[in-house]
Structure 1
Amino acid sequence: MPKFSLIVLSKTDQQSTYDMNVECFDTFIKSAIKAKVDYEILLIESNKNSHYQYNVQHLKIITPKDAFSFHKFLNIGVSHANAEYYILSNNDVVFDINWLVETNNVLQHNPKLLSVSPLDPKANSLPKEALENNNYIVGYQIQKHLTGWCIVAHKKVFEAIKKLDERFGFYYADNDYAMQLQKYNIKHALVTNAIVHHLHGQSSVGDNKNKSFELPAKTPNYIIKENWTWVLNNKKMIEGLILFHDKWGSRKTIKIKLFLANTVSKLGLGYLNRFIITHS
C-alpha cells in the first residue's frame, strides 16, 4: 500500500487553533487506519514561539525561520516528506472516516491521475447529478475540481513542476497550481466520494482583513466591470491576481493557451502543453 504524507500549515498562537489542529490530525489518522495505508504528518508551524505539545503518532513539527508564505511553506513540507503521495492541507479541515479509502481507490485504479482533491458537499458548485454519477471528475476549475485547502499530489507532480511558485504567498496559489498541472499535462480530478469538511475562514494561515485602500494600477479591468467584490475588497487578493496575470498572461491569453493545450491533448500530444502554456 502507498504511503501518504499529510502536510499541514498552521500558526498556532491560541487554544482554538491548537484544538483545530488536533481535530485535523485525529480525523486524518482515523481515515488512514481505515484505508490501511502508511502515513506521516508534517506540521509546518509559522509561530516560532508556539509552546503547544501534541500526543500524535508519526508527527513531525517543522518551524521555518522564514516569514510565512503559503507555497514556500508547502515546499518546505514536501522537501521533508517521505511518501509516495503528499496531502497539502489547511489546518481547518475535518476528514471523513472514508475519505482516504475513496481517494486511494481512485488513485490506484487510475495510475495516470496524479493529483486529486476531495469534496466538501457544502461548498462545491458542480452539478449534483455529476457528483452523484461519477467516482471522480477530471478538471482544473477552482472550487469545482480543485480545492486549494486540500490537494493530494503524487511525488511525480513535483518531479515535473519541481516546486510550487513561492511568489504566491497565499491568494491565487491554487490557480497557479492548476496552471502548472495543465502546463505539464498532469491530470487532476475531484474525487466525489472523498468527503472533507472545510471550516471556511477559520484557518490560521491567511488574513482577509484589510483597511480601505486604493486599487493598484495593474488591477484587471474585468474584476471591476464584473464587480468581483470579494476580490476588490481584499488588497492581498488583488495583488495575488495581478501576480497570476503577470505570470500567465491576460484572461484572454490564458483562455487561448488552455484551448490550444486542450486541443493537442485530445490528439495525444499533451507533452506539447509545456510549450503552449508559457509563463514569465
Structure 2
Amino acid sequence: MSQINPDNSRAQKLKKLYQISRELISEYGYRYFLRIAFEELFTQKGKLFSPDTIPQDIEDEFILDYDGLLENYRLEKNSLQSKIQSFSTLPLFSLVLFVDGETPLIKKILKTQIYNNFEFVLVSSSKKHIDSFVSQNNISNFQKLVIDSPKIHDIMSVSKADYFTFLNNFSVLHSDFLFNIVNKINQNFLGDVYYCDEDFIDKHGKRINPFFKPDWSSYLLRSFNYIGNSFIIHKQLLDKLSNFILDKNFHYNLILHCAEISNKFVHVSIPCYSSLKTHTIDQTKILSQHIQRLGLNAKVEDGYAPNTFRVHYHLENEPKVSIIIPTKNNKSLLKRCIDGLENKTNYKNFEIIIVDNNTDHDETLEYYNSLDYEVISYNYAFNFSKMNNLGVTKAQGDYILCLNDDTKVTEPSWLTEMVSICEQDDVGIVGAKLLHPNGTIQHAGAVFLKSGSGFHVFENIVENEKGFFNLHNVIRDFSAVTGACLLIKKSIFEKVGGYDDSFDLFYGDADLCLKTLNIGLHVIYTPFARLLHEGSATIKKTSQTFFAIENHFSFISKWSYLKQGDPFYNRNLGWNYSIAKLERQMDSIIS
C-alpha cells in the first residue's frame, strides 16, 4: 500500500474529463466549456489526456517533511536514556524469535535498544539452529525453547517477562521501540496491547512511506491489519490465549484473538519500526473465523484495494427507515433525490419526511402537492439542526436517515449496506462515501485537527486512487461523518438528545457523532454505500456565509479533548494526510 501515489489509468482520466465536461456544460453552458477546453488543451497539450500524477513539488514536500521529522526524532533520542532514570516502572520484555537456518543476524531486525531490560526467547524445532544463532550473534540474555508448533503457554513457561513481542524477518525495530512503550506505561497508558506507527525501507536503506495510524479501531482491523506485525502484548492477556498456536504468519490472527477479549489497545504515534517488505498473504480464512467467533452474521469478501477486506453484514429483515430531507426552493434536485429513493434503491421499507424552509417557488410547491409523503414547514431562518430535529418528531422508523436534497442514488444496495452495519449492537451512526459529479470524492469521513477545525479527508481525489494507504476505501471508525447522508438508530438519536440546535449550519452533524461516541458506540464510514452529492446546495442557497466562527468556538469548547488530537486521525498529520508542521509535532514526542 502507498500513501500519496494515484492509481489512475488513461481510460480513467478520459472518464474524469468527460464527467468534468458534463458538469461545466450543465452549470455554465457550451460557450464557457469550449473556452476552458481550448485553454487547457493549449496549455497542457497531450498531457491533458495522460493519467494524473502527484505534482513533484508536493511529493518532494512530503518526503522532506518526513526526513525532517526523522531527524528531530534522532536528536530527541539523545535525551531518552536519562529519562529512563525517572521511570517508576521498569518492566521486563521478552523478545520472541523463531530461529531456523535462514534467520538473519539480529542486528538486521533489531537495533540496539535504548531501553535494555529485555531477554530473548529463541524458538526452534532444532537445538542446533538455536546454538548456531546464539554463536553468530554473541547473545547471552536468552531463553531456549526447542519445540514444534509452539503454543503461547510454551513461550510463557520459559519466560517471566511482563510483556512479549514477536520478532520477524521482515521488520526492523528501531532503537526507541521498547523505550516508547515503557514511556507510555509510565504515563499511565495501561493497555493489553501496544502498537506504533511504522514506515518502509527502500532498496537504498532509506526510511520512506510512513504509515501514521489511528488509535484503536476495531472496524478498521476487520478491513486490514493496520496494527502491523510488530506489537507488544501484556502477559495477563497472553495468559488468556495460552492455547493459541504460533504457526506461520500468525500475527494478524493473534491480534484478532486479542481484540476478542480486550479493547485496551494503546497507540504510540511514533514510527518505531520499519517494514522491509510487504507481504501478500490471503487472510480471508483467519478473518472469517474471527467473525464467526464474534457471532456476527456476516461474510468476508475482498475489499476494493489489495490486501483489504469487506465484512459484508447480512440483513435478515428491513427495519423501517425514516428519511429526513431538509429543503427549500429546490424542485429539480429534490425530485432527482426522491426518484432515486423510489426507483433505484433496493431497500423498500422507508418513509420520507420533507422539512421545507419557506419555499416560495410555485413549481416546488406544486411538486410537494404531488407527493404522498409528509411535508413539514419550518418557517424560520435555515437551521440544519432544528430542521432535522423537527423531522424526527414525525418519524415512525427504527432508524433515522438524514439526507441532503442534492444527493443522488447511484447504486441500489447503498441503504441496505448502511442499515446492515448500523444494526450491529456496538454501532450508533453510519456514513456513506459521497462523490462529486466529476467522480472525485466529496466525503469519505471527517476528522479534526488540534485547532478543532474539521474537514472531509480525501476530498477531491479520484475515487480509485490509493490515497493514504487506501483508508478511503475500507470500512473504518471515524470521529464524525457528514450529515448529508447519516444513518442513526432512532433510540440513540433520542438518547443523546438529537442535534444541538445551537449549531445552525455547521458542526451539528459532528456534534451528534461525538455525542454518540461519548456513550460508547461506534461511528462507522463505509465506502460500499456510494451516492453522488452536489455539495450542500440548499445550505448554499439559504446562507450568506460558509463558515460560522461562533459555531467553531462553541464546538471546540464543548469537545475540548480534540485539542489533544483526533483519535481516528494521527497527531503527526496536518490537513488531509499531509505531515503536520514539525514545531507542532515535537512538543509532545517525549512528554
State the partner residue of 1:151: 486
Change (3 A) 1:138 1:27: same
Change (3 A) 1:9 1:165: same
Unpaired stretches in structure 2, ≥5 consecutive residues:
1-317, 436-440, 445-457, 459-466, 571-591
Q: How many Å separate the matches in 1 of 2:372 and 2:321?
A: 11
The 5 A counterparts of 1:120-269 are: 120-121=434-435, 122-123=441-442, 124=444, 125=458, 127=468, 129-132=470-473, 134=474, 136-141=475-480, 146-204=481-539, 207=542, 209-210=544-545, 236-249=547-560, 251-252=562-563
Displacement of 1:118 after TM fit? Answer: 0.9
SS of structure 1 residue aligned to 2:381: coil
State the partner residue of 1:43: 354
Q: How many Å separate the matches in 2 of 1:197 and 1:155?
A: 25
State the partner residue of 1:26: 339
Change (3 A) 1:157 1:147: same
Question: Normalization by structure 1: what TM-score?
Answer: 0.69
Alignment deviations for residues 203-239 of structure 1 (CA, whole Å, 9 cap, x no partner): 34665645xxxxxxxxxxxxxxxxxxxxxxx5x4222
Displacement of 1:64 after TM fit? Answer: 2.2
State the partner residue of 2:378: 64
Displacement of 1:105 after TM fit? Answer: 3.2
Is 1:10 the counterpart of 2:338 in the alignment? no
Change (3 A) 1:183 1:56: farther
Displacement of 1:24 after TM fit? Answer: 0.7
Q: How many Å separate the matches in 1 of 2:393 and 2:468?
A: 37
Displacement of 1:186 after TM fit? Answer: 2.1
Change (3 A) 1:38 1:29: same
State the partner residue of 1:117: 431
Alignment deviations for residues 153-175 of structure 1 (CA, whole Å, 9 cap, x no partner): 11121232022110000112222
State the partner residue of 1:278: none
Displacement of 1:101 after TM fit? Answer: 2.6
Unpaired stretches in structure 1, ≥5 consecutive residues:
211-233, 260-280
State the partner residue of 1:266: none
Match of 2:403 among 68, 89, 106: 89
Q: How many Å separate the matches in 2 of 1:138 and 1:255?
A: 12
Instruction: Give the stretch that moved more between structures: 98-107 or 175-184.
Output: 98-107
State the partner residue of 2:66: none
State the partner residue of 2:419: 104
Change (3 A) 1:158 1:252: same
Is 1:73 the counterpart of 2:387 in the alignment? yes
Displacement of 1:246 after TM fit? Answer: 3.2
Alignment deviations for residues 95-136 of structure 1 (CA, whole Å, 9 cap, x no partner): 22221132233334x23222101112422327463444x4x2
1:41 partner letter: I
SS of structure 1 residue aligned to 2:400: strand
Change (3 A) 1:129 1:48: closer
SS of structure 1 residue aligned to 2:322: strand
Displacement of 1:47 after TM fit? Answer: 1.3
Is contact 2:479-2:566 (8 Å) kept? no
Change (3 A) 1:104 1:73: same
Matched-pair identity in %: 21
State the partner residue of 1:226: none
Q: How many Å separate the matches in 1 of 2:508 and 2:419?
A: 25
SS of structure 1 residue aligned to 2:397: coil
Is contact 1:170-1:206 (8 Å) kept? no
Q: How many Å separate the matches in 2 of 1:190 and 1:8?
A: 20
Change (3 A) 1:5 1:50: farther
Is contact 1:3-1:39 (8 Å) kept? yes
Displacement of 1:42 after TM fit? Answer: 0.6
Displacement of 1:200 after TM fit? Answer: 1.6
SS of structure 2 residue aligned to 1:62: strand
Change (3 A) 1:23 1:239: same
Q: CA RMSD in A?
A: 2.8
Aligned residues: 221
Q: How many Å separate the matches in 2 of 1:56 and 1:118?
A: 29
* Higher RCO (CA-CA < 8 Å; seq separation 6+): 1
Is contact 2:322-2:353 (8 Å) kept? yes
